[in-house]
Structure 1
Amino acid sequence: MTKNENNIDLHGLSSLAELITESCTKFADKPAFSCLGQTFSFAQTYEQALNFSKYLQQHTNIKAGDRIAVQLPNLIQFPVVAYGALLAGVVLVNTNPLYTPREMQHQFKDSSAKAIVILADLLPNLTQIIDNTDIEQVIVTQATDFLMPDKRYQGEYLSLLDCLEQGAKVESLTPVAGELSDLAVLQYTGGTTGLSKGAMLSQINLLANAEQSFQRFKPKCVDGEDVYICPLPLYHIYAFLVNLILAASHGAHNVLIPNPRDIDAFVKTLSAYRFTHFTGINTLFVGLCQHPDFVKLDFSSLRMTISGGTALTHSAADIWLKVTGCTISEGYGLSETSPVLCFNQPGNERLGTIGFPLVDTDLQIWDENNQAVAQGQEGEIVAKGPQVMSGYWQQEEATAKSIINGYFKTGDVGVIDEDGRIRIVDRLKDMIIVSGFNVYPNEVEDVLSRHDDILEAAVIGEPDDGTGEKVAAFVVLKPDTGLTEEDVRGFCKEHLTPYKVPKKVAFIDELPKSTVGKILRRELRSA
Structure 2
Amino acid sequence: MLRPDLILLPSPGPDTPAIIVPPAPGTATGTVQLSYRRLDGLVLHAQESLARLGIAAGSRVAVALPNGPEFVVVFLALARQRAVVVPLNPDAKEAEQKQMLQRLQPRCAIVPDDESRRPMTNASTALGIPVLLCTWGDDVQQVLLRHDAQGHTPISSAAVVTPEEVRPDDVVLLHYTSGTTGLPKAVGLTHARILASVRILVEAHSLLPTDRAMIVAPFFHVGGTCSSLLCALAAGGCAIIPRSLSGNFWHQFRDLGATWYHAVPTMHRLLLSFPRPVEGLTIRFARSGGSSMSAVLMTELERTLNCPVLEGYGMTETVQAVFCNRLDGSSRLPGHFPVPDELEVKIRVPDANESFQLTSVPGCTGEVCVRGPCVISGYLDDPETNANSFHDDFFRTGDLGSLRADGRLHITGRTKDMINKGGEKISPLDIEHIVLAHEAVQEVACFKVADDTYGEDIGVAVVVKPGYHLRPLDIKRFVRQQSVHFKVPKTVSFVESIPTSRSGKCVRAALAQRLVLRYGVSKLPRTSKTCGFRKPLTRAVFRRLSHIAIMARLHGGQLVGVCPFSLPQMSEFERGPIVYMSRPAGNKAPATHPHTPVQQHREMQAVCLAASRSTTTTSTPAKITIALDSNWNDDRILLAREKKGKKAPQA
> TM-score if structure 2 supplies the norm length?
0.71
293, 308, 317: which one aligns with 2:298: 317
Instruction: Pick one of 196, 212, 228 that aligns with 1:227.
Output: 212
- Report the 3-state secondary structure (helix = DSSP H, G, I; strand = E; otherwise coil) of the residue aligned with 2:380: coil
| 1:176 and 2:164 aligned | yes
**TM-fit CA distance, 1:401:** 1.6
- Counterpart Cα distance in 2 of 1:194 and 1:149: 46
For structure 1, which runs of at least 5 residues remain unmatched after alignment? 1-8
Query: Alpha carbons of 1:239 and 1:127: their partners in 2 closer, same or farther (altered >3 Å)?
Result: closer
Amino acid at match of 2:261: F
CA distance in 2, matches of 1:55, 1:215: 36
Aligned residue number for residue 638 of structure 2: none
Structure 1 distance, partners of 2:379, 2:40, is: 31
Q: In the alignment, which residue of structure 1 is the partner of 2:224? A: 239
Q: What corresponds to 1:305 in structure 2?
A: 286
How far has the Cα of 1:416 moved from its partner?
A: 0.6
**Structure 1 Cα separation of the partners of residues 149 and 488 of structure 2:** 57
The correspondence for 2:307, drawn from 297, 302, 326, is 326
Q: Note if 1:372 corresponds to 2:366.
A: no
The residue number in structure 2 matching 1:408 is 395
Secondary structure of the residue aligned to 1:240 is helix
In structure 2, the partner of 1:126 is 120
Work out whether 1:67 is the aligned partner of 2:60.
yes
Q: How many Å separate the matches in 2 of 1:288 and 1:10?
A: 30
**Counterpart Cα distance in 2 of 1:245 and 1:356:** 22
> What do the CA deviations read for 1:347-376 (whole angstroms, capped 9, x no partner)?
423212342122320111112534124320
Supply the distance in 2 between the matched residues of 1:276 and 1:128 (Cα, whole angstroms): 41
Residue aligning to 1:289: 272
Percent of aligned positions with the same letter in both sequences?
24
| Matched position secondary structure for 1:482 | coil
Whether 1:89 aligns to 2:89 is no
Q: Residue type of the partner of 2:293? A: L
Deviates more, 1:302-311 or 1:28-37: 28-37
Aligned-partner SS, 2:262 = strand
Asked if the contact 1:342–1:354 (Cα under 8 Å) also holds between the matched residues in 2, the reply is no
Tell me, in whole angstroms, the C-alpha distance in 2 between the residues paired with 1:468 and 1:296: 53
Which residue, out of 48, 51, 56, partners 2:45? Answer: 51
Q: Which amino acid aligns with 2:333?
A: L
Report what 1:353 is aligned to. Answer: 335
> Aligned pair count?
494
**Amino acid in the other structure paired with 1:76:** P
Q: Which moved more, 1:186-195 or 1:41-50?
A: 41-50
Contact persistence 1:15–1:204 (CA under 8 A): no
Does the alignment pair 1:213 with 2:204?
Answer: no
Alignment of 1:159-170 (within 5 A): none
Query: 1:64 Cα deviation (Å)?
Result: 0.8
Give me the whole-angstrom Cα distance separating, in 1, the residues matched to 2:123 and 2:226: 30
- Do residues 256 (structure 1) and 241 (structure 2) align? yes
Q: Which moved more, 1:111-120 or 1:379-388?
A: 111-120
Picking from 93, 98, 101, the partner of 1:100 is 93
Unaligned stretches of 5+ residues in structure 2: 24-30, 515-651
Structure 1 residues 16 and 270: alpha-carbon distance in aligned structure 2, compared to 1, 3 A threshold: closer
Q: CA deviation at 1:56?
A: 1.0
Q: Distance in 1 between matches of 2:68 and 2:2?
A: 29
Instruction: Calculate the aligned-residue CA RMSD, in Å.
Output: 2.8
TM-score by length of 1: 0.87
Q: How does 1:377-526 map to 2 (within 5 A)?
A: 377-526=364-513
The code of the aligned residue for 2:345 comes to: L
Q: Is contact 1:345-1:355 (8 Å) kept?
A: no
| Aligned-partner residue type, residue 357 of structure 2 | Q
Deviation by residue 1:124-164 (Cα, 9 ceiling, x = unmatched): 3224432564622x12346xx444779x99998169xxx9x
TM superposition shift of 1:522: 2.7
Amino acid at match of 2:284: R
Give, as a single letter, the amino acid of the residue that structure 2 aligns with 1:126.
M
User: Which range moved further: 69-78 or 420-429?
Assistant: 69-78
Q: Does 1:157 align with 2:148?
A: yes
Task: State how 1:6-17 maps to structure 2 within 5 Å.
Answer: 16-17=7-8
User: Structure 1: how far apart are the matches of 2:435 and 2:161?
Assistant: 56
Within the candidate set 179, 183, 186, 1:195 is matched to: 183
Q: Which residue does the alignment assign to 2:631?
A: none
**Paired residues of 2:133 and 2:146 also in contact (CA < 8 A):** no
* Further displaced range: 103-112 or 77-86: 103-112
Q: Is the 8 Å Cα contact of residues 366 and 379 (structure 1) preserved in structure 2?
A: yes
Name the CA shift for 1:188/1:154 in 2 (closer, same or farther; >3 Å).
closer
CA distance in 1, matches of 2:128, 2:177: 21
The letter of the residue matching 1:372 is: L
Secondary structure at the counterpart of residue 511 of structure 2 = helix
1:274 to 257, 267, 271: 257
Q: Secondary structure at the match of 1:211?
A: helix
- Code of the residue aligned with 1:187 in structure 2: it is H
Instruction: Work out whether residues 187 and 198 of structure 1, in 8 Å CA contact, stay in contact via their aligned partners in 2.
Output: yes
SS in 2 for 1:302: coil
**1: CA distance, partners of 2:260 / 2:436:** 25
8 Å CA contact retained: 1:458, 1:473? yes
Q: Which AA in structure 1 matches 2:8?
A: A
Greater mean deviation of Cα atoms: 250-259 or 240-249: 250-259
Q: 1:109 to 1:78 in 2, by over 3 A?
A: same
Over residues 318-365 of structure 1, what are the superposed CA-to-partner deviations in whole Å (9 max), with x where a residue is unaligned? 111111111111111110111234111224232123421223201111
Rate the CA distance shift 1:526–1:302 in 2: closer, same or farther, 3 A.
same
SS at match of 2:44: helix
Query: How far apart in 1 are the matches of 2:428 and 2:294?
Result: 12
Distance 1:99 1:204, change over 3 A: same
